[in-house]
Amino acid sequence: MLGLGLAAAVSAFTSFSPFALLAHARSASTFDQVTDTIANSISETFNEAVANHFPARTGKPAQPPDAKPVPAKPFADGSGYTLCFVPDGASCQALLINAIRSTRHRLLIQAYSFTSAPIAEAVAQAHRRGVDVRVILDKSQQSERYTSATYLKHAGVPVVIDNKPAIAHNKVMVFDDQAVFTGSFNFTKSAQERNAENGMLIRGDAAVVRAYTDNWNKRYQQSRAY
């Protein structure tokens, strides 16, 4: 039953009528204002979805869940985003692979768990066609039996281990200094086929891309070779 409530929350988030809130957030003067506005929007719509799903507690009629894939929508300034929700929505793996295949110059990766053969192969292919690919992984990947780290290293991709923090839990890709993927989605078969995960591909937002790139560079400088 809780899964239905979460699906309702997803539906409410993507169909929230004051979605112009995001456009307002894009015009905010600071990054904190942007993140606070988006966080408040998500929190309000999630709470509304939960209330609708439990009429005995609220007196409101239950709303049917809707887990349709979420298409790309433009921000006010012409940038855009694409959402994925597995297992009930658009494929996060397909979204990532398509973005990797479209990358022409630079691909920066941070991963907690990276065992997906299809994603690893797309990354290796990007390296072979001349893309500057660099990968930061959590130290758990040194002992993970099915890690993609060894395959990527043998393919010539620079791989480093972020071993300073207790867990390097980032799941991020930066494409051509123009787009960022982030979310709960690990780059694994389980994340795509067994788990409830989410991801967002943000395109054309220079401030967001710069923030993620700066953080990637900081973590890379503190990492060591795999």
Burial of 37 (0-12, 13-18, 19+ CB in 10 A): middle
Helices (H), ranges, the chain:
2-15, 20-26, 31-53, 55-58, 92-102, 117-128, 149-154, 189-193, 206-221
Question: Six-digit token pair at 22?
Answer: 């995001």
Asked if 65 and 9 touch (Cβ cutoff 8 Å), the reply is no
Asked if 189 and 92 touch (Cβ cutoff 8 Å), the reply is no
Which amino acid does the sequence have at 61?
P
Nearest Cα to Cα of residue 186 among 178, 194, 177: 194
Question: Six-digit token pair at 84?
Answer: 């994925």
Burial of 38 (0-12, 13-18, 19+ CB in 10 A): middle
Bond before 87 cis per omega within 30 degrees: yes
Which residues are marked as active site?
169, 171, 176
Q: State residue 72 phi and psi, 5-degree precision.
A: -65, 140
Task: Name the DSSP letter for residue 81.
Answer: E
